[in-house]
Amino acid sequence: MSEAIPNLQARFERLRANKLFEALVIGIIIVSALLVGAKTYSETSRFEQALRVLDLGVTAFFLLELTIRMAGERRLRDFFSKGWNVFDFIIVVASLVPMNDSELVLLARLLRIFRVLRLVSMIPELRMLVTALFKSIPRMGYVALLMFIIFYIYGAIGSFLFHEVNEKLWGNIALAMLTLFQVATFESWATAVLYPTMEHFPYSWIYFITFIFLNSFVFLNMMIGIVLDVMQKESVQMELESGEGEAAELHGLRSDVQAMREQLSRMEALLQKRE
């Protein structure tokens, strides 16, 4: 009995690492996303019962898949020690909210939308991108703070100089900063902001060009550089972890071969004693 449990755990671990099983899970996640999208069309109301059965099947599969992954760990706390496993656990458990209850039907539908995010946890490249994004946030925060300072300075200058041109755009510093945000995104900024201002202040283009240069070229490239730097480090880390995983698997195979040799040696010794 004591040997059956490790063998069962090893089977679950092999199933969890199986590429076909992972592809099946990704396929079910896509089906779950399509089910959520289908329910937004009024034409599918006549298939409501079938969609509900499919939703129950998807939920049951996710529970089974999560159970297999948990059973594949040597200790249960090893499963919850990984952030992505906790993420999957929360999403799967949250999707258990029943849709039959009229008071919770909206919450249930909203929670089922987030099951699409499980694609991130299943695909290593997406995990790397999301991890890099979150690790970039602290460094990007300083760039964002510097951008806010520039926005504030230019907003104050614009409010002082151009408030007579258009009160809705330059009436106070808050409106001026919103106008500058429109300029930074290049959303109809020339016709709506630049040209009307240049009719009263011909040299105001200097104000706008310097602002665009700082925000859209300097700061934006700084943001991109930070993300690319973190992504490169995460890519190297993922390759190292993959190499360590292959080394650990090779070590495990060598241990199994060594154990088999020891068992054969003991069997040969027993046979020799009987002879």
Give the pLDDT band of residue 179 (cuts 50, 70, 90).
very high
Residues with Cβ within 8 Å of 122's Cβ and at least 6 positions away in sequence, in order, are 22, 25, 26, 29
Interval 38-59: pLDDT, tens: 877 877 777 778 888 888 888 8
pLDDT at 118: 84
DSSP 55-111: HHHHHHHHHHHHHHHHHTSSSHHHHHTSHHHHHHHHHHHHTTS-SSSTTTHHHHHHH
Q: Which residue has the higher pLDDT, 11 or 98?
A: 11
First to last CA, the chain: 33
Q: What is the mean pLDDT of residues 179-199?
A: 88
Q: Which residue has the higher pLDDT, 44 or 255?
A: 44
Give the pLDDT band of residue 99 (cuts 50, 70, 90).
low
Q: What is the mean pLDDT of the chain?
A: 81
Indicate the range of 22-31, 77-86, 114-123, 251-260 predicted with least confidence: 251-260
Measured CA to CA, the distance from residue 58 to residue 24 in angstroms comes to 12
pLDDT at 275: 55
Q: What is the mean pLDDT of residues 106-127?
A: 79
Q: What is the mean pLDDT of residues 164-180?
A: 91
pLDDT at 154: 94
Interval 3-39: pLDDT, tens: 555 677 777 778 777 788 888 888 888 888 888 888 7
pLDDT at 149: 93
Owner of token pair 């079938």: 50
Q: What is the mean pLDDT of residues 112-137?
A: 83
Give the pLDDT band of residue 101 (cuts 50, 70, 90).
low
pLDDT at 159: 92
